[in-house]
Homo-oligomer: A and B are copies of this chain.
Amino acid sequence: MSEFEKSALNKVVRGPNRAVYSKADVYKIVDSHFLCHLAYVYEGTPIVIPTGYGRKGDVLYVHGSSKNRMLNYLLENESVSATITHMDGIVLAKSVFHHSFNYRSAVLFGKPRLVSNEAEKMDALKIITDNIIEGRWEEARYPNAKEMKATMVMAIDINDASAKIRAEGANDDIVDADLEVWTGVLPLTVTVGQPEPNHDCNPSVEIPNSVVDFNF
């Protein structure tokens, strides 16, 4: 399957010309971020929480404390979704109405599953860690038995997804052509600052490759 099938769930209703269903394109958006937003319903109110993630094939992994309220609620759902959002810029048009954002946004749908197999769980933690900062897993101390027990890993077996991309200038109405208003895009990017060593970090320890090579 190289294309996600359109269904009532994942079909992009507003702005369908910006819709993306190709698996490669959707996963490109997923793999170039590390923070997703998940929602669970608590006593009738949907609540959205940000969390880190990693992907392997058609599986998205997230983790948290074993007592994490959201994960425990999500695991009772038949279907959950995870949203990944890149905010790429503010689009300024002549009319307020045609102002917009440039963005890349993906929504992944699937059945949640508690990862109880220890090997998959350890692998999932590596995948999440290295998706956040590549190569970090091998630099740090692996989780021990106690830490593994305190950690819950949830897999979402992705069976549906869609994405939207907007990456262009302002599209004003022809009637506004003569208005003397500046139009264009104000690009926004996430940038990495200078690494800040911990107060108790031994100064003789070199900054590791994961940090030197980091890019978002």
Do the beta carbons of A94 and B140 come within 8 Å of each other? yes
User: Number of copies of this chain in the oligomer?
Assistant: 2
Interchain CB contact (< 8 A) of A64 among B14, B67, B133: B14
Given A9-B45, A180-B205, answer yes or no on A188-B186 (Cβ-Cβ < 8 Å).
Answer: no
Do the beta carbons of A52 and B187 come within 8 Å of each other? no
Among A23-31, A54-62, A100-108, the stretch that binds chain B is A100-108
Do the beta carbons of A199 and B169 come within 8 Å of each other? yes
CB distance from A197 to the nearest CB of B (A): 4
A69 contacts B by Cβ under 8 Å: yes
CB distance from A62 to the nearest CB of B (A): 13
Interface residues of A (CB under 8 A from B): 8-9, 13-14, 35, 37-50, 52, 64-65, 67-69, 77-83, 85, 87, 89-90, 92-97, 99, 101, 103, 105, 107, 109, 125, 129, 132-133, 136-137, 139-144, 147, 150-151, 169-170, 172, 176-177, 179-202, 205-208, 210-211, 214, 216
The 6 closest A-B pairs by CB, nearest first: A39-B39, A187-B193, A39-B46, A48-B83, A183-B198, A97-B147
